[in-house]
Amino acid sequence: MTTPLHCPACRAELPLGSAFCPACGNPSPTVISSERAAAAPTPTAPPTAQPTVERLARALGPKYQVKKLVGRGGFAEVYELWDVDLDRRLACKVLHPEIAWTPGMIARFRQEAKALARLQHPAILAIHFAGDGEGLVYYVMPFVEGESLADALRRRGMVSADDAFKICEPILQALAHAHAQGLVHRDIKPDNVMLEGKTGRALLVDFGIAKLLDPNAGGAKTATGFTVGTVQYMSPEQALGQADLDGRSDLYAFGAMLFQMVTGAPPYDGKSSAEIVGKHLADPIPVASDVNTKIPRWLSDVVLRCLAKKPEDRFQTADEVLAALQEGRASGSTRVVGAGSLERKVRRSRETRLQVRAWGWGGLAGVVVGALGLWYAGRQGYVGPPVVWAHNGLVEPAEILRNGRPVDTLAPDAMARLRVRPGAVAQVRWRLVRPGNPPLGEPMEGSMTLPPRTVGRRVWHLTAEAEGQRYFAPLITNTTPSDITLEVNPGTAAAVRCNCLVPRGAVRSHIGYYRLFANSGLAAYNAAHPYAGPHADRSDFATRVAPRSGVVVLTY
């Protein structure tokens, strides 16, 4: 009889296989595998005695040359090969040797190879062959010259609606094909979309944690207590460990990826996996067109439906999503007009006809143009009382305070229009909204100075300098095999632990803002062994901090 697990925070009973508590979002005490380790195939040398490159070369034989390591993920490493007989570049995916030898892990890896072999689609990388030897399990596939969508978004920030459609079309076609074969990808994210360098063609990769839905295939091979995926893109049902996932879970992840493509950030983010999952489960669905007003409304509506909390409220197939995108692209941007807007439009039209009869079209046009020009000039602050546009150049939200009371909150890179009475500039301040609960990082607050006009406008820039002190915001990517904790400014009087945990696989996690000095640095420690390490980063640290936002991107 299986003993039920309970949440260590709120004591609610946890569903079988759930990675997070459905009541409070706290991580559940799950394990990667409950299986006993099995003996590895007898290698010619102990698996840990020699580098993976050398062992892989012996396992593949003289027909293939192992060139170099080109990528590393949570489950596997990818090496570049050279096929000596056919003079071509190949890629070889190798399961991490330190976690390979449990029956479940080997079975899941071989399942991935079989699943890939079943898929025949131009937007899915084919598999040449799979094998094992020298204590390694691997499969070989074509080598793609290009970059991941994640790298492209880090370089460009976001893409246009047209470019997003060009990327999404083959990905949706690939998903439709995979779902028809009974295969759910379960890890749709920008890192698993490759863009070919020469053609820009999008390819869907890494079915390493896919789940076969075909009941004749033996069901899911995932071990009890093992939930896989990336929390920024994980559907609510996947986060709760539901066993009956279907293609609609992939469509949720696709919607989260598309949201990031057109806005520059995933729909939900936070300081921990539990916080992000909690937002997927309970927070309102963000509207992409509210974040980026340049994208058409039809595209925002497609993203909104993909991100529905319940699978039955989403698109039911990848073909439906593609059809909605194609229809919206063909029709152009459309906006919903409410009854009140229609009533005002009719009333203005009637008043306009009366004015036209009295003044004629020429006089009316002059009055309208003059009135619009005066209204615009006043709103922009070119004429009339001082108008200040506040721009948040930080990577965290900031509150605008008037007489110590919050009057507005600015999202990162957002602008707000403020009217400031003459002599009341000192009453306006700003305050950083620190991430996390309890808040991470150090408090940061600054006063407002009335900026000079630039091209007729006054723009007040919120930057990473407050009251004469510079600050920096580390964005942490954890590629180590364990969770890490961080110490800011180690070895100095300003040293402080972040009181945070950056899980392995996390990308650009926010840990708040900290004071910046000439000798500032950061040290990362293994979370399970807090004094193991550290991985320190101090060389030229201050010079790498972005002057306005204070951002410094660090990878461990």
Q: SS3 for 302?
A: helix
Q: Which amino acid is at 477?
A: T
Rounded alpha-carbon distances, angstroms, from residue 42 to 133, 135, 507: 8, 7, 37
From CA 9, how far away is CA 196, in angstroms rounded? Answer: 46
Q: Which amino acid is at 125?
A: L
- 435: cis peptide before it, omega within 30°? no
Residue with tokens 């910046």: 516
Instruction: Name every residue whose Cβ is closer than 8 Å to that of residue 52 and which is 6 or more positions away in sequence.
Output: 77, 94, 97, 136
Rounded alpha-carbon distances, angstroms, from residue 303 to 197, 299, 300: 27, 6, 5
How many CB atoms within 10 Å of residue 90? 19
Q: Where are the alpha helices (DSSP H) in 292-445?
A: 297-306, 318-331, 339-380
CA proximity to 303, closest of 245, 247, 246, 263: 263
Tokens at 211, concatenated: 């789940």
Continuous segment of H or E residues that includes residue 353: helix 339-380
Q: Dmax over Cα atoms in the chain, in whole Å?
A: 99
The residues annotated as belonging to the active site are: 187
Q: What is the number of helices (H) and of strands (E) in the chain? A: 12, 27
The string of DSSP codes covering 199-229 is T--EEE---TT-EE--GGGTS--PPTT---S
Q: Does residue 291 contact residue 531 with C-beta atoms inside 8 Å?
A: no
Q: Provide the β-strand partners of residue 429.
A: 401, 447
Q: Does residue 549 contact residue 393 with C-beta atoms inside 8 Å?
A: yes
From CA 242, how far away is CA 281, in angstroms rounded? Answer: 13
Q: SS3 for 319?
A: helix
From CA 82, how far away is CA 68, in angstroms rounded? Answer: 10
Rounded alpha-carbon distances, angstroms, from residue 67 to 64, 73, 97: 9, 18, 19
CA dihedral 528, 531, 537, 538 (to 10 degrees): 160
